[in-house]
Amino acid sequence: MIHTVGLADMKISSSKEDIIITHGLGSCLGITVYDPLAHIGGMLHVMLPFSNIDPERAKEKPFMFVDTGLPKLFISCYEMGASKDRLIVTVCGGANPLGMSNNKVFNIGERNFAILQKLLDKNNVSLAACDIGGTQSRTMTLEIATGRVSLKINGYENKVLFDASTDKSAQVFK
């Protein structure tokens, strides 16, 4: 079954038949976590770095923000049986669709990724793969059976970002 992650949304699955997908990753980030032994995976589509810009909205839509959505993604996977030491994390998006690379204030994609990196580092979690920046929109897909994360860039180019079934670093968990 295909599960679509909307804007400021998250989906988790432990069914090997499931595929999780999100579209329209411009400055937003698509973040996946996957446990290759338990076959538990999740995807988060975040829009903004910090929830403190709108605390009320963060309560209603915690997946809108990196700092509130990321912990919920991890906790939800742990609650389903995933193990932190086996989690494979990937991310894509963080583009600058308007091409305003000289203006850090408006480069939300860059700020989203910087906050994500800080949160992962603080919690001793490494990124297995990422496809960040540029000016093009991405679609991200996670296959629960294999842990394969693939991208479609600008609706055309297909790219495998990570495949837990073939990547040597993931073989340890089989």
In the numeric block, the tokens 């992962």 are attached to 120
**Domain count of the chain?**
1
**CATH number of the domain within which 74 lies:** 3.30.1330.200
pLDDT bin (cut points 50, 70, 90) of residue 157 is: confident
Residues 6+ apart with CB under 8 A from 123: none
- What's the confidence (pLDDT) of residue 73? 98
Q: What is the DSSP letter of 63?
A: G
Mean pLDDT for the chain overall: 90
% of the chain with per-residue pLDDT over 90: 78
Q: What is the mean pLDDT of residues 60-80?
A: 96
- What's the confidence (pLDDT) of residue 171? 37
Residue-wise DSSP of 107-163: -HHHHHHHHHHHHHHHTT--EEEEEE-SS--EEEEEETTT--EEEEETTTEEEEEE-
pTM score of the predicted model: 0.91
- What's the confidence (pLDDT) of residue 156? 79
- What's the confidence (pLDDT) of residue 106? 65
Residue 94 has pLDDT above 90, yes or no: yes
Q: What is the mean pLDDT of residues 128-150?
A: 95
Domain that holds residue 100: 2-171
